[in-house]
A = this chain, B = another copy of it.
Amino acid sequence: MKLGLNLSFAVKRWMKPEVLAAMCREIFDVNYVQFTWDLIDPWWPGDVRDEFAGQYARAFEKRGIEIGATFGGLASYSYPQLLAPDPKMRDVSETFFKRAIDLTRAMGVKAVGTPIGGMDYADARDPETRAALYREALERIRRLAEYGRQKGLDHMEIEVTPLITEFPHSPETSIRLMKDLEGSAIPVKLLIDWGHALFKPLLKEEADISLWFKTCKDYIAAIHLQQTDGQWDRHWDFTNPDGTLTPEYIVEKTKEAGLENIVSYLEVVTIFEDDDDHVLDGMKKSMELLRRACAS
């Protein structure tokens, strides 16, 4: 399995490009990272945004670490984005994602990824509104793919989320989305997150990683790893004793599905008030456990 690291763990803790890149090389020893928009908000004024983008990009490049994609984080996920209740809000989201593509290209990175957005209570429960929002989102994603092509992106990644008020949430709706986006200016692919795929309250018998991998295999561009109990979308590190996954099981299932050449990024979302050193200790141990499982 190709092990990578999403930088969410570093949000509000290790924000200096040189320090963070050095940690990734010297402590975690990873060759692939996924950059989170929680470190640079795509909304920031373009000059400052791109200056910091360049600083991060150079710091990682110097250490031979590839930034596989820039990715939406907690901040962007707090908004309804492309599925917002009002068309003007959806326009704003499209502008936001274009700015995220600009940020990505300022880093010299070739892929961008995010969940699509979330629906209002009433919209999600009205079949016609759901269908209309879905259709409109397809158009907007196609426009973003065209914008990405112009800017030099290689592909885009859509993250599957465990909510019935978001698209897509299941193996079947993920495949449908991929088919509905065929022929886009650049390929639009899937990012599968172990914790989302195994979220039992929503997915029930579909909370089965083999089913996900088998169904979606041709479209999977990247994978998120997390420790979870399947009851909530935990994003724990692998030292958490309440988790039901093991690194060995993850490596085995990834290999079994023929996905060992796709990068699997550990994505730990920390509790804000957790102590920095405690977070770092958990991250060190988790990456060690995952590296060991990859090697065996």
The chain A residues found within 8 Å of chain B, CB to CB, are 11-16, 19, 38, 41, 43-45, 48, 51-52, 73-80, 84-86, 88-89, 91-92, 95, 118, 120-122, 124, 161-163, 165, 199, 201-202, 232-233, 271-273, 275-276
Contact = CB atoms under 8 A, between A and B. Distances in A.
A89 B162 CA distance: 33
Contact of A118 (B12, B118, B199, B233): B12
Given A14-B120, A41-B43, A276 B165 contact: yes
A199 B274 CA distance: 11
DSSP majority for the A interface?
loop
Contacts of A165: 12-13, 276
A232 B48 CA distance: 34
Task: Give how many copies assemble into the complex.
Answer: 2
B14 A273 contact: no
A19 B85 CA distance: 12
B13 A273 contact: no
Contacts of A202: 273
Most buried by B among A80, A120, A163, A201: A120
A45 B272 contact: no
A34 to B, nearest CB: 16
A276 B16 contact: no
Given A14-B121, A201-B275, 14 more contacts: A12-B80, A13-B120, A15-B80, A41-B79, A51-B88, A52-B86, A52-B89, A124-B276, A161-B273, A163-B272, A165-B276, A199-B273, A233-B271, A233-B273
A135 to B, nearest CB: 20
Nearest to A119: B12
A14 B15 CA distance: 34
Contacts of A19: 120-122
